[in-house]
Structure 1
Amino acid sequence: MKKVKVSLRPIVNNINLPTVMKTALLPGDSIERLFIATQLGEIFYIGDSSLRIFLDIRSRIIKLGTSEPGVAGGGYDERGLLGLAFHPEFYYNGLFYLHYSAAGTQGPGALSEHFKPDPCDLKTLNLRWLNRETKYNHIDTIEEWFLQANGQPQKRRTLLNLRRPFFNHNGVNSLNFSPESGKLVLTTGDGGAGYDPFNLSQDDMEIAGKIIEIDVSKNTFINNPPVVTRFDELPAPIQETLTVIAKGVRNIPGISFQRFYNQYIKYVGNVGQDLVESIFSFGQYKPIPVTQLIQASSMKSELDQEGIINFGWRGWEGAFPTSTIKNCPTNQALDEKTIAYYNEAINTLVKRLQPLTSYFHKDNRPDKFGGTALTGVQAYMGNGIPDLTGSVVFTDLARDKESQSPVRGVLAYTRVRTDCKLNDFSVIETDYNFGSQSAYYVSLGTNLDQTRLYLGVYGSMKVTDLNQGTIFEIIP
C-alpha cells in the first residue's frame, strides 16, 4: 500500500483525557463546531478560536482510577464519560446523548481473582455470572439531554441503566447516530476482565458484547429504567425501542459510516486479547428486534439470525481462534499459543464475519508495527489528503513497548477490497515532534462530512494524571 505522510496541527492543549471528538452545528449558529468530551466528564467546544465549556458532569461520574480490588488501579481506568452523540436534528431540537459510568455505583467486581481460561479445566470454560445485584463493578447510564433556549443543557430522560461486571470494556466513542436508520447506535463491550469469562458476547439475552440500535423517537414514559444486565429484564416499552445489529463483540471504539453510492459501509474495530487488533466492515445487515430475541428465548426456539453480524468473540480473535499464550523462556518469538475455546471456535466458524484487516501485537516486519490496543476507526472522505480519500483510518494506543521509549501511538490506514478479502494496512507517518513526552493515541474523530480527522493524544495512560491531552487536526 502507498506510503502516506501527514502533519499534526495542535488545536487544543492541556485538557484531560479525550474520549470523543465530533462536530455539530449549535442551534442558531452558522459554523460547525468541534466538540471534545473528556473521560472525567467535561464537554468543550471550540468557538471563535477559544475553548468553551458546553457541559460539565464531573460530579455525575464514578470516581476514576480505583477500578476494583486486585485489578489495574493506579490511575488507569476504562470508565467515565465514554459516549457523546448529537441528534441528526440537533440544530432544531437541541437533543444530544451521553454514555457514562455513574457516580456512587462502585462495586466489588464479578470475580474475586484474575481470570484466565484453562482448556484443560471445564470450570474456567463454563463460568456463570452469579449474584449480579451485588457482584458487579459499576453502572453505566445512557441519557438523553437537550439544549435549552437559554443555552444551558438539561437532562431529559434516562434510556438505559446497565450493570457492568468489570471496570473495563465499556467501549469509547460509544454513541453514534446511524444515517441509514436514524437510530442511536450503542457500541460497548463484553463487560471486561479479558477472555469474556461468562461468554456474555455470544449469549443473545445479554446486553454486553452487542451493537444495539435505540429508537429515540419512541417515548417509553419510563424516566428511571431499572438497572439490568439482560434484555429480558427490561420493561416492555424499552424492549420495543431496541434492535440488535451485532454480537461477538469484545470492545469497540465506536462505529463509522461511509456513504457508498446509495448505501453505507459500516466500520468497527474490535480490540484484541493477546494476539491481534481487528477492523471489520459490513454493508448489508438485518437487525433483530429485542422483542423477537426474548420471544425465541422464552419459547426455547431457534431464531433466524442470518442478517445479524457476528464478530466471533470469544471463540475468535479477529481471523484467529482465541488463544492462551504460554511464555517461552528461551525465545519470545516461540511463545506457545493454545486454542482457549476450541468448541466455541468451531460453533462460530461459519457464522462469524471475517475482518477487513488485522494487525499483530508482535510484528517485526520493517513496514509494520506491534500494537497495543485499537482506539479509533474513522472513514475519511476528504480531498485534503488525496492518498487517504475513501480509506479507513485507525489509531493504536502505543507501539509495542519494547520497541520505543518514550511511548508513541500509531496512525494507519486500510481500504475495502472489491473482492471482500482480508486487506493489508499501512502506517501513516507523522512529522510532529513530541520530544521526551509520552504520546498515547487515545481517540480519533471526524467532522460531519468526514473531510477532517482529529487525533486525541495523551501524555499518560492514567486518567488521574490531569491536563496532559492535546487535540490535533490531521492535515497534509
Structure 2
Amino acid sequence: MVNVKVNLRPIVRKVNLPTVLKTATLPGDSIETLFIATQVGEIFYIRNRVIRTFLDIRPQIIKLGTSEPGVSGSGYDERGLIGLAFHPHFYYNGLFYLHYSVAGTQGPGALSERFKPNPCDPKTLNLRWINRETHYDHIDTVEEWILQSNGQPQKRRTLLNLRRPFFNHNGVNSLNFSPETGKLVLTTGDGGSGYDPFNLSQDDMEIAGKIIEIDVVKNTFINNPPIVTRFNELPVPVQETLTVIAKGVRNIPGISFQRYNNQYIKYVGNVGQDLAESIFSFVYYKPIPVTQLVQASSLKSEPDQEGFINFGWRGWEGAFPTSIIRGCAENPTLDEKTIAYYNETIKTSVKRLQPLTSYYHKDPRSDKFGGTALTGVQAYMGNGIPDLKGCVVFTDLARNEGSQPPVRGVLGYTRVRADCKLNDFSIINTDYNFGTQSAYYVSLGTNLNQTRLYLGVYGSMKVTDLNQGTVFEIVPDS
C-alpha cells in the first residue's frame, strides 16, 4: 500500500477527553461548524478559531473514574457523554440527540470479580445475568433535544433508558444518522467486562451487543420509557420505533457511511479482546423490526435472519476464533492461544460477516504495528490528501510495542475491496511533536461530506485528569 504522510493541525487545546467530533450547520448559519463533545458532559463548537459552549450537562453525568473492579479510583472509564448526533434537518428543526450515562445511577456491577472463561468449566461458559434490577453498573439514556429560537438547547424527550451490566463497552461516537434511511443509528457494545460473560451479543432479545435503528419521526407519546435491558421489556409503541441491523457486537466506535456508485457502504469497527481489532463493511442488509424479534421470542421460534448482519462475537474476534491467551512459562516470548468458546465459534462460523481488515495487538511485521483498541473509523472522500481519497481511515488508542512512555496513538487506513477478501492496511505517518506528553488517539471525526478529518488526542488514560485534550485537523503533508 502507498506510504501516506499527513500533518496534524491543532484546532483547540486543553479540552476534556473528546468523545465525538462532527460538524453541523447551525440554524440561520451559512457554514458548517465543528462540534466537540467531551466525556465529562460538555459540548463545544468552534467559531472563528474561538471555542464556545453549546451545552453543558456535567451535573447529569455519572461520576467518572470510580468504577472498574480491582482498580477502583484508577480514573479510567468508558461511561459519560459518548454520543451526539444532529438531525439531518437540524438547520431547519434544531433537533439533536445525546447518549450518556446518568448521574446517581451507580450500581455494584453484574459480577463481583473479573471474568475469564475456562473452556474446561461449563459454569463459566453459561453464566446468566440475574437480579438485573440490583446487579448492574449504571444506566444510559438516549435523549432528543432541540435548539430553541433563542439559541438555548432544551431536552424534548427520552427515547431509551438502558441498564448496563458493567462500566465498559458502552460505545463511543455512538449516535449517527443514516443517510439511507434517515433513522438514528445507535451503536453501543456487549455490556462490558471481557469475553461477554452472559453472551448478550448473540441473544436476539438483549439490547446489548446490537446495532439499532431508531425512527425518531414516530412519536411514542412516552416521554420517559422504562429502564430496560431486553427488547421485550419495552412498551409496544417504543418497540415499533426500533429495528435491529446487526448483532455479535463487542464494542463499536460509531458507524460511517460512504456514498459509492449510488449506494452506501457502511463501515463499523469492532473493538477486540486480546488478539485483534477489526473493521467490517457491508452494503446490503435487512434490518429486523423489534416487534418481529419479540414475537418470534414469545413463540420460541427463529426470526428470518436472511440479510441480517452478524459480526460473530463472542465466538469470533474478527477473523479469529475468540482466544484465551496465556504466556508460555518455558518461553516468555511466546503465547499459548486456546479457543474460548468452541461451540459458539462453530455455531456462528457461517452466519458471521467476514471483516474488511483486522490488525493485531502483536504484529512482528516491520511495516505494521501492535494495537491496543480501535477508537474511530471514518471514510474519507476529500481531494486534499489524494492517497487517502475513497479510503477508510482508522485510529488506534496506543501503540502496543512494549516501548517506554510517552505513549503514541496510531493512524491507519485501508481500501475498499470488491472481492470480499480480508484486506491489507497501512500506517499513516505523522511527525507531529507531542514532546514528552503521552498522546492517546481517542476519537476520529469528519465533516458532513467527509472531505475533512478530525482527530481527538488525550494526554492521559484517566478521564479524571482534566483538560489534557487537543483536537486536530488531519491535513496534507506540507
- Fold in common (TM above 0.5): yes
Name 2:464's counterpart in structure 1. Answer: 464
- Equivalent AA in structure 2 for residue 431 of structure 1: D
Pair 1:310 & 2:296 matched = no
**Structure 2 CA distance for aligned equivalents of residues 396 and 332 of structure 1:** 26
Distance in 2 between residues matched to 1:26 and 1:404, nearest whole Å: 44
Q: Report the counterpart of residue 417 of structure 1 in structure 2.
A: 417
Q: Deviation per CA, 1:183-207, whole angstroms, max 9, x where unpaired?
A: 0000000000000000000000000
What does 1:140-179 correspond to in 2, within 5 Å? Answer: 140-179=140-179
Query: Where does residue 222 of structure 2 map in the other structure?
Result: 222
Partners of 1:277 and 1:290 lie apart in 2 by: 29
Residue 38 in structure 1 maps to residue 38 in structure 2: yes
Quote the residue 2:438 is aligned against. Answer: 438
For residues 471 and 143 of structure 1, the distance between their equivalents in structure 2, rounded to whole angstroms, comes to 26
C-alpha separation between the residues in 2 aligned to 1:330 and 1:22?
A: 50
For 1:59-78, list aligned pairs within 5 A.
59-71=59-71, 73-78=73-78
**Offset at 1:326?**
1.3
| Helix, strand or coil at the partner of 1:303 | coil
Distance 1:69 1:397 in 2: 22
For 1:52-201, list aligned pairs within 5 A.
52-71=52-71, 73-201=73-201
What SS is found at the alignment partner of 1:92? helix
Please report how far the alpha carbon of residue 260 of structure 1 lies from its aligned counterpart in structure 2 after TM superposition: 0.5
Shift of 1:404: 4.7
Give a deviation string over 1:119-155, Cα, whole Å, max 9, x none. Answer: 0000000000000000000000000000001000000
Structure 2 equivalent of residue 383 of structure 1? 383
Preserved CA contact (<8 Å) 1:68 1:109? no
Task: Report if the CA contact (8 A) 1:186-1:212 is conserved.
Answer: yes
Encode CA deviations 1:16-72: one digit per residue, 9 max, x unaligned.
000000000000011100000000000000012200000000000000000144256
Question: Conserved in 2, the CA contact under 8 Å of 1:68 and 1:108?
Answer: no
Q: Are the equivalent residues in 2 in contact too, given 1:285–1:308 (CA < 8 A)?
A: yes
Match of 2:296 in 1: 296
SS at match of 2:296: helix
Query: Are residues 1:370 and 2:370 paired?
Result: yes
Structure 2: runs of 5 or more not aligned: none
C-alpha separation between the residues in 1 aligned to 2:72 and 2:356? 31
Give the direction of change, closer, same or farther, for the CA distance of 1:409–1:72 in structure 2 (3 Å limit).
farther
Identity of aligned residues (%): 84
Please list the CA deviations of residues 208-259 of structure 1 after superposition, one character each: whole Å capped at 9, or x if unmatched.
0000000000000001100000000000000000000000000000000000
For the residue of structure 1 that corresponds to 2:395, the secondary structure is strand
Q: In structure 2, what is the equivalent of residue 356 of structure 1?
A: 356
Query: Deviation of residue 113 (structure 1)?
Result: 0.9
Cα pair 1:270 1:279 within 8 Å, conserved: yes
Q: 1:73 and 1:214 mapped to 2: Cα distance?
A: 35
1:463 maps to a residue whose letter is: V
Q: Which whole-Å CA distance do the structure 2 matches of 1:234 and 1:122 have between them?
A: 32
- Corresponding letter in the other structure for 1:179: P
Q: Contact 1:279/1:357 (CA < 8 Å) preserved in 2?
A: yes
Q: Which whole-Å deviations, capped at 9, do the CAs of 1:256-302 have from their partners, x for residues lacking one?
A: 00001111000000000010000000000000000000000000112
**Counterpart amino acid of residue 196 in structure 2:** D
Could you say if the C-alpha distance between residues 73 and 314 of structure 1 is closer, same or farther in structure 2, counting changes exceeding 3 Å? farther
Name the CA distance, whole Å, in 1 between partners of 2:142 and 2:84: 10
Whole-angstrom distance in 2 between the partners of 1:298 and 1:335: 45
8 A contact 1:139–1:164 mirrored in 2: yes
Q: Distance in 1 between matches of 2:72 and 2:217?
A: 39
Is contact 2:248–2:313 with CA below 8 Å preserved after alignment? Answer: yes
Distance 1:218 1:205, change over 3 A: same
Q: Distance in 2 between matches of 1:229 and 1:263?
A: 34
CA contact (8 A) 1:69 1:108 kept: no
Gaps of 5+ in 1: none
CA displacement, residues 378-403 of structure 1 (integer Å, 9 cap, x when unaligned): 00000000000000000000001513
Matches within 5 A, 1:233-248: 233-248=233-248
Equivalence for 1:448 = 448
Displacement of 1:405 in angstroms is 2.4
Q: Contact (CA 8 Å) 2:362, 2:401: kept in 1 or not? A: no
C-alpha deviation, 1:88, in angstroms? 0.1
Residue 405 of structure 2 is matched in structure 1 by: 405
Q: Which residue of 2 aligns with 1:213?
A: 213
Aligned to 1:20: 20
Most deviating of 65-74 and 24-33: 65-74
Q: Are the aligned partners of 1:18 and 1:37 in contact in 2 as well (CA < 8 Å)?
A: yes
Aligned to 2:395: 395
Letter in 1 for 2:176: N
Q: Does structure 2 retain, via aligned residues, the 8 Å contact 1:96–1:146?
A: yes
Work out the CA distance in 2 between the residues paired with 1:73 and 1:276.
Answer: 28
1: distance between equivalents of 2:256 and 2:62? Answer: 28
Q: Which amino acid aligns with 2:170?
A: N
Matched residue type, 1:244: V
Q: 1:138-183 CA deviation, whole Å, 9 max, x = no partner?
A: 0000000000010000000000000000000000000000000000
Q: Indicate the larger mover: 440-449 or 416-425.
A: 416-425
Q: Secondary structure at the match of 1:43?
A: strand
Counterparts of 1:404 and 1:312, CA distance in 2: 35
Counterpart code for 1:434: F
Deviations 1:315-341 (A, max 9, x none): 000000001011113434421100000
Q: For the residues of structure 1 that align with 2:266 and 2:150, how far apart are their CA atoms?
A: 37
Q: Indicate conservation of the 8 Å contact 1:96/1:144, yes or no.
A: yes
Write the distance in 2 (CA, Å) between the matches of 1:401 and 1:57: 38
